[in-house]
Structure 1
Amino acid sequence: MDLFAGIFESIPDAVLVVDETGGIRHANRQAHVMFGYSEGRLPGEPIERLIPRRLAAGHSSHRDRYLTGARVRPMGQGLDLQAMRSDGAEFAVDVMLSPMETGAERIVLCVVRDVTARKRDEQRLRDSLSEKETLLKEIHHRVKNNLAVISSLLYLQSRRTADPEAARALEESQRRIRSMALVHETLYRSGSLAAVEFADYARTLCDEVQRSHMVTGQNITVVQDAVPIQLPVDIAVPCALILNEVLVNAFKHAFPDRSRGEIRLQIRLLDERHIRICVTDNGVGATSPAARGPSLGLTLIESLSRQIDAVYEYHSDETGTRVCLTIPAPNPTEATAG
């Protein structure tokens, strides 16, 4: 046996040499083992004998089309291929095709690999991922429900509290919990459980804050200018709480003696490394929150900003107030601007 014949026979994949008519000219030892034929049985047989009967009828036309523009086709090039053993059993394969010219004749070298085990493992992995995604969605759903229960308990307690200051503190805590619950609800409803589409979340939060804080007779317009940005949960929750504090402050303090006003929410991908969230109003302006003395809201904003390495900026004058939060993009490929 010469060197090339030895290589042909020792290749661990099935190797077939097929002519232009679809006839098998040569088949190595592994081809006979894989397809369940005795040694030397395959040469002379049509290639369609190795293809499931339900697919064999149309294979000759596929073969003719391939030969008109024959090219090397890498193994497993996004195709879901099936082959058939001598007993009629079907199994999954990857096939590499390589056309060759031998004088006036064209032949095709076919390398066939049994991928039954790989396909089985891939399906097992898909099933496992599906189960984990279902479980994770259920966890987010239950967390949201539990937070809703806590919020309801705080509401009931605030209704039974005679001290106005204590009632107000309970209501603020209730509002913060609702903003966190909304993150989990957004995740539960989305296609991704790893990240929150923060622009959609911010719009919903803004609408909720507007409904709960709009004073009768006021006409406060909210302009939302936000591009799609994906944020992982560990970044989205702190951002949600900070945005909630800023929006509430704008509705509560920007227009004390006015019936009309505008609040603008802007979310932008500043560059490949930073995201900026800004809330601007054309209200009466105010002194810096720090100058008014410590508050739970300001303490929360500063603490959460440090937690996510964000820069919190506050500017206010007689034309209104502008608050911005600049946060590092968690992953430049995930933070996408539309």
Structure 2
Amino acid sequence: MREEHIPYEEEIKTKEAHKKREREQRLLFQDELAESENKYRSLFDNSTSAILIFNLDSEYVEANKAACDLLGYSHYEITHLKVKNIFNSFSHKEFELLYQDFLTKGNAKGEASITTKSGDKKFVDYSSIAFFIPGHHLSIINDVTHKILHQEKIKESLKEKEILLREINHRVKNNLQLITSLINLQMNSLDDKKSHGILTDVQSRLKSMSLIHEFMYESGNFASIKCKEYIERLVQYLRRAYLTGTKKIQTIITIDDHNYGMELVTYLGLIINEVVSNSFKHAFRKKNTGTISIDLRSVEKNYFLLTIKDDGDGFPNKIDINYISSMGIQLTNTLARQLNGKLEIQSSESGTTSLIHFVKN
């Protein structure tokens, strides 16, 4: 009889051992789960970022200490608020559109202003994840008020400097125009054509610089100038100053519509002033019609070529720019060197070409 009960007793022992292992595994899983929950809870509670959880009705259901400190509400008070109560800088329509977009994309991030319990306005950046657990969304919020206010101060400071620079450019332009007017008064009292011509040249040089400050004042851009538009206006002025009588001289300007720095444009303006004014004065003594072309182009990276060409009479003899007495050519050569460049003049009976090779820093 005893032998018949052994298998049954063994079966009981096996079942009990299996149940024991299951209990041990369940307890181990519960311990691991509890440990994991404690870790995440610790991260949640001790995070320096405000962390809030809200449900499908956009009602807050959980908030950490950082969120309470940021918003000024107690935990109980936050769990009786909706998201739009905090992010109240958006209109109802804007909020609904943003919320629907958030649900569709599954996430959202950006900057916004919020209102605390005390009514203070704060700027925050936020990052939200939709359905991080079933039926609930997560938001992480950081206070960036100090950064935003600092940026606003920088913007205000830049605006003040911009206004100051505009005023400086305006005054420089006016001062140059005043000098030009004084020269003009002096010219009216002169009968000497040579002196008259010298003062006209001085006026055109002043005008080339005055135009730069005029452009800066008009555009509000103090870092760069639209080179093509500037040169077009400069050439128009030179035409009025030097071209008289019945001569019909066409000007063709081929320049990329790019912005260049003030220093570079100043040198280019003075160079073009010298060469073009010289063409207007001397190149077409035997002709009533002709063409002056100005071409500025990039040859290689940071390497440029300015070509000023006329189809006038040309120079009678071969030119050595290092031994020529013409002040205009000497000044042009000096300006080219200021650009780390080189002036080359080619002249024949069919006209004169001035080539300025230079490097744009």
Q: TM-score, normalised by structure 2?
A: 0.82
CA offset at residue 238 of structure 1?
1.5
> Which residue type is aligned with residue 290 of structure 1?
D
Aligned: 1:290 with 2:320? yes
Q: Which residue is equivalent to 2:187?
A: 158
- Amino acid corresponding to residue 258 of structure 2 in structure 1: I
Q: What is the DSSP-based 3-state SS (H/G/I as helix, E as strand, rest coil) of the residue aligned with 2:91?
A: helix
Task: Decide whether the 8 Å contact of 1:144 with 1:185 is kept in 2.
Answer: yes
Give per-residue Cα distances to partners, 1:154-177, cap 9 Å, x unaligned.
222233345443333222212211
Match of 1:31 in 2: 67
1:300 is aligned to 2:334: no
Distance 1:29 1:41 in 2: 13
Superposed CA deviations along residues 130-189 of structure 1, whole A, max 9, x for unmatched, are 111111011111111111111222222233345443333222212211111111111111
Is contact 1:275–1:327 with CA below 8 Å preserved after alignment? yes
Separation in structure 2 between the aligned mates of residue 108 and residue 270 of structure 1, nearest angstrom = 58
Relative to structure 1, the CA distance from residue 289 to residue 187 in structure 2 (aligned partners, 3 Å threshold; closer, same or farther) is farther
Aligned equivalent of 1:220: 249
The answer (yes or no) to whether the contact 2:339–2:360 under 8 Å persists in 1 is no
1:38/1:273 Cα in 2 relative to 1: closer, same or farther (>3 Å)? same
- Relative to structure 1, the CA distance from residue 59 to residue 177 in structure 2 (aligned partners, 3 Å threshold; closer, same or farther) is closer
Unaligned runs of 5+ in 1: 331-338
SS of the residue aligned with 1:37? Answer: coil
Counterpart Cα distance in 1 of 2:42 and 2:324: 87
Shift of the 269–108 alpha-carbon distance from structure 1 to 2, 3 Å rule, reads farther
1:288–1:314 contact (8 Å) kept in structure 2: no
Distance 1:184 1:58, change over 3 A: closer
Residue of structure 2 in register with 1:118 after alignment: 147
Query: Does 2:311 correspond to 1:275?
Result: no
Helix, strand or coil for the counterpart of 1:301?
A: helix
TM superposition shift of 1:54: 6.3
Please name the residue that 2:231 is paired with. 202
With 210-219 and 52-61 compared, the bigger mean Cα shift is at 52-61
* Cα distance between partner residues in 2 of 1:94 and 1:147: 50
Query: 1:215 and 1:167, CA in 2 relative to 1: closer, same or farther beyond 3 A?
Result: closer
CA distance in 1, matches of 2:319, 2:204: 20
Aligned residue among 290, 295, 304 for 1:261: 290
Q: Kindly, what percent of the aligned residue pairs are identical? A: 26
Contact 2:296-2:304 within 8 A present in 1 as well:
yes
- Indicate the SS of the match to 1:2: helix
- Matched to 1:327, the amino acid is F
Match of 2:57 in 1: 21
Q: How many residue pairs end up in the alignment? A: 323
- Structure with larger Rg: 2
Superposed, which structure 2 residues align to 1:160-179 within 5 Å? 160-179=189-208
More displaced, 14-23 or 37-46? 37-46
How far 1:100 moved relative to its partner?
Answer: 4.7
Q: Residues of 2 paired with 1:329 and 1:293: CA distance?
A: 27
Counterpart of 1:192 in 2: which secondary structure? coil
Per-residue deviation, 1:323:
1.3
Deviations 1:226-277 (A, max 9, x none): 2212221122111111110010111122211111111112222333312332
Q: Any stretches of 5+ residues in structure 2 without a counterpart?
A: 1-36
Q: Which moved more, 1:55-64 or 1:118-127?
A: 55-64
Is 1:232 the counterpart of 2:261? The answer is: yes
Question: Given residue 284 of structure 1, which amino acid in structure 2 is its aligned partner?
Answer: D
Decide whether the 8 Å contact of 1:158 with 1:168 is kept in 2.
Answer: no
1:288-329 deviations in Å (ceiling 9; x for gaps): 553683222122111111112123222112222111223323
Question: TM-score, normalised on structure 1?
Answer: 0.87
- Relative contact order: is structure 1 or structure 2 higher (C-alpha 8 Å, sep ≥ 6)? 1
Which residue of 2 is the match for residue 3 of structure 1? 39
Q: CA separation in 1, counterparts of 2:198 and 2:50?
A: 74
Question: C-alpha separation between the residues in 1 aligned to 2:206 and 2:274?
Answer: 12
Cα separation, partners in 2 of 1:53 and 1:265, compared to 1, 3 Å: closer
